[in-house]
């Protein structure tokens, strides 16, 4: 199964059990975010990626510049384990 099919199945399963007002709040938040224009203002193809300096899970400090010295990277922003 493709990733999106799995995600859509999870969503369907969740919404079958969740309270109606909860689903409404979640849907509205997503719609508001779409309407806010955030995606249109976000970083896009052709932009210079802002450099950063952050710690990994072991406390090692990593910079974008350092990562790119070897090869191109796929950078994935992830919300969390919860």
Partner 1 sequence: MLQAISPQQQIHNRQLIENKKLTFHILSDPGNEVAKRYGIRYKLPDDLREVYTSFGIKLHEYNGDYSWTLPLPTRLIIDQDGIVRYAAINADYTVRPDPEETIEALKRVMGQ
Binding residues (CB under 8 A) for partner 1: these are 2-4, 7-8, 11, 22, 25-26, 28-30, 32-34, 36, 38-39, 41-52, 54-60, 62, 64-65, 67-82
> 49 and 41 in contact (C-beta within 8 Å)?
no
Of 16 and 57, the one with the shorter C-beta distance to partner 1 is 57
Smaller CB separation from partner 1, 16 or 42 = 42
Q: Is the Cα torsion angle 49, 54, 56, 61 positive or negative in sign?
A: positive
Closest distance of CB 41 from partner 1, Å: 5
Query: Would you say the C-alpha torsion 34, 38, 40, 43 has a positive or negative sign?
Result: negative
Smallest distance from the beta carbon of 77 to partner 1, in angstroms?
Answer: 4
Question: Least separation, in Å, of the C-beta of 16 and partner 1?
Answer: 15
11, 45, 75 from 4: Cα distances, Å: 10, 23, 19
């Amino acid at each position: 199964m493709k990733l999106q099919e799995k995600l859509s199945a999870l969503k369907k399963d969740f919404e079958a059990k969740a309270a109606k007002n909860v689903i409404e709040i979640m849907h509205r938040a997503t719609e508001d975010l779409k309407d806010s224009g955030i995606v249109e203002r976000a970083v896009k193809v052709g932009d210079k990626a802002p450099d950063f300096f952050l710690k990994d899970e072991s406390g090692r400090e990593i910079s974008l510049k350092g990562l790119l010295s070897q090869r191109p990277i796929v950078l994935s922003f992830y919300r969390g384990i919860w």
